[in-house]
Amino acid sequence: MNNITFYFSLVFSGILIKNVLLSQFLGICPFLGVSKKTSSAIGMGISVTVVLVLASMVSYAFYYLVQVPFHLEFLRTISFIIIIASIVQLIEVLMKKYMRSMYESLGVYLPLITTNCAVLGIAIININNGYDFLGSILYALGSGLGFLLVIVLFSAIREKLELMDIPKAFKGLPIALITAAFMSLAFIGFGGIL
């Protein structure tokens, strides 16, 4: 029973409390870059979630099955970034071959994910916090869903902001950052739940 609450809290805190974007500042580049339209925000969010879960699984397995037994922990950063880059490449190739329509809508976001710090960040957090295999997957899933939720909400607000009468100097990125500040403020409120 205790285990179930622990796993549940991992997913939940990934989505709301320790949100990757608004409280941990991981993956801010796509957050600001790909959030002008809701459709592209959904595409980016889904791609990040898939890559996050797969990358956490593979990096967890690689770390505990290869690096720890051979005392190669210091190569963690290098090996994880190579794992992430290969996973992204693999997904791109598979998607191109078997899911043509999905590739056409999501394909452009895939190469960007290699340098998305959320993926490497979550993989390292999983190891640092000592989560087990299931915990790592669930935390990655929660973080991915949190990323999806926030980037979609943010893009919806930004679409409306385009039509607003904003001081000229604040148009574009400055007002987007201030919007993100208020969203982040709202998400602090979730901290009291767990």
**Binding region for another protein (CB under 8 A):** 22-29, 32, 74-78, 81-82, 85, 114-117, 120-121, 124-125, 128, 167-171, 173-178, 180-182, 184-185, 188
CB closer to another protein, 22 vs 44: 22
C-alpha to C-alpha distance for 144 and 160, rounded to whole angstroms: 25
Q: What is the nearest approach in angstroms of another protein to the Cβ of residue 180? A: 4
106 or 125, CB closer to another protein?
Answer: 125
Cβ nearer to another protein, comparing 76 with 96: 76
- DSSP labels for the chain? -HHHHHHHHHHHIIIIIT-TTTTT--SHHHHHHS-SSHHHHHHHHHHHHHHHHHHHHHHHHHIIIIITTTT-GGGHHHHHHHHHHHHHHHHHHHHHHH-HHHHHHHGGGHHHHTT-HHHHHHHHHHHHTT--HHHHHHHHHHHHHHHHHHHHHHHHHHHHHTTS---GGGTTHHHHHHHHHHHHHHHHGGGGT-
Residue among 85 and 99 whose Cβ is closer to another protein = 85
Q: Which is nearer to another protein, 27 or 142 (CB)?
A: 27
CB of 192 to another protein, least distance (A): 14
Cβ closest to another protein, residue 22 vs residue 110: 22
Rounded to a whole number of angstroms, the minimum distance from the CB of residue 26 to another protein is 6
Structure tokens at 7: 């796993």
In angstroms, give the least distance from the CB of 185 to another protein.
4
Token representation of residue 194: 């767990």
- Smallest gap from Cβ 57 to another protein, in A, equals 19
Q: CB of residue 69 vs another protein: minimum separation in angstroms?
A: 20
